[in-house]
């Protein structure tokens, strides 16, 4: 099974690389990124621990919701690893296993938006490293994290919430990230950007992953 999954991952990377001139993940054109997505939509994440169903709600974060829709529709999150899992806090993912894709999304950031709903358990939001730096990385709140609503004065606005599958999320391994009380050194984000999943598979082989992420239902006015 592991060899079959690895083969699927390699084929996917090769397919993207083979159409470098126009693949939506390698050439994210501004006009495509500016398209308005559904008012809400459900995404089924097939993870290594079982399925999760996430409902993304555009009123909570219009720009963030549209970005998630674009990325999922173009299969950006397939084979993404949960590279930062801190027990009793969050599970984070969103760097591509393909270094070419990571390079293409450097600087494709979104303006900040106000926090409309709190970072409660099961809600998902974009990670960021400063003002106006939301791009492709997401995190899932494993517990209620109200302090994230006001961190750095403008907080992290949730874009959606888990409807089904929190038991799977609770079982993600945090052996590389530790807990809030006992943090451990985990993967280097710079190394992921440069070497992709080959780096993670070599040094952090037991990380959980998203095998596929697909929109399964959407609503538009």
Q: For 108-119, what is each residue's pLDDT tens digit?
A: 999 999 999 999
d(CA 213, CA 221): 24
Query: Residue 181 — left, alpha, or beta (φ > 0 → left; ψ -120 to 50 → alpha)?
Result: alpha
What mean pLDDT, rounded, does the chain reach? 90
The pTM of the full predicted model, rounded to 2 decimals, is 0.89
pLDDT-based confidence at residue 133 (cuts at 50, 70, 90): very high
CA distance 66 to 40: 10
Q: Is 73 helix (H, G, I), strand (E, B) or coil?
A: helix
Tally of CB atoms within 10 A around 122: 20
Percentage of the chain with pLDDT > 90? Answer: 81
| Gap between the Cα atoms of 174 and 192, Å rounded | 18
First-to-last alpha carbon distance for the chain, in angstroms, is 42
Q: What is the pLDDT of residue 182?
A: 81
Lowest mean pLDDT segment, chosen from 15-24, 78-87, 95-104, 212-221 = 15-24
Tens of pLDDT, residue by residue over 28-50, are 999 999 999 999 999 999 999 99
Domain 2-219 belongs to what architecture?
Answer: Beta Barrel (2.40)
Q: Does the pLDDT of residue 95 top 90, yes or no?
A: yes
Measured between alpha carbons, how far is 158 from 168 in angstroms, rounded to an integer? 20
**Beta partners for residue 84, in sequence order:** 92
Residue 16: the pLDDT is: 53
pLDDT at position 27 is: 92
The domain locations on the chain are 2-219
Looking at per-residue pLDDT, the higher value among 184 and 201 belongs to 201
pLDDT grade, residue 104 (50/70/90)? Answer: very high
Say what the pLDDT of residue 178 is: 82
Cα distances (angstroms) measured from residue 215 to each of 32, 54, 85: 18, 9, 24
What six digits make up the tokens of 47? 């993870």
- In this predicted model, which residue has the larger pLDDT, 107 or 209? 209
């Amino acid at each position: 099974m592991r060899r079959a999954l690895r083969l699927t991952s390699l084929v996917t990377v090769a397919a993207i690389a083979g159409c470098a001139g126009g693949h939506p993940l390698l050439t994210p054109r501004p006009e495509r990124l500016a398209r308005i997505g559904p008012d809400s939509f459900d995404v089924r994440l097939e993870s290594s621990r079982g399925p999760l169903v996430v409902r993304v709600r555009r009123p909570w974060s219009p720009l963030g919701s549209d970005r998630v829709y674009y990325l999922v529709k173009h299969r950006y999150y397939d084979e993404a690893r949960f590279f930062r899992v801190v027990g009793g806090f969050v599970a984070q993912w969103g760097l591509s296993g393909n270094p070419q894709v990571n390079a293409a999304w450097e600087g494709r950031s979104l303006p900040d938006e106000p926090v409309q709903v709190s970072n409660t358990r099961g809600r998902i939001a974009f990670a960021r490293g400063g003002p106006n730096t939301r791009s492709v990385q997401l995190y899932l709140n494993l517990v209620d994290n109200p302090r994230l609503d006001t961190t750095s004065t403008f907080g992290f606005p949730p874009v959606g919430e888990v409807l089904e599958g929190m038991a799977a999320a609770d079982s993600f391994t945090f052996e590389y990230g530790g807990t809030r009380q006992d943090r451990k050194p985990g993967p280097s984000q710079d190394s992921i950007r440069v070497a992709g999943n080959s780096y993670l598979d070599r040094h952090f082989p037991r990380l959980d992953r998203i095998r596929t992420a697909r929109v399964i239902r959407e609503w538009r006015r």
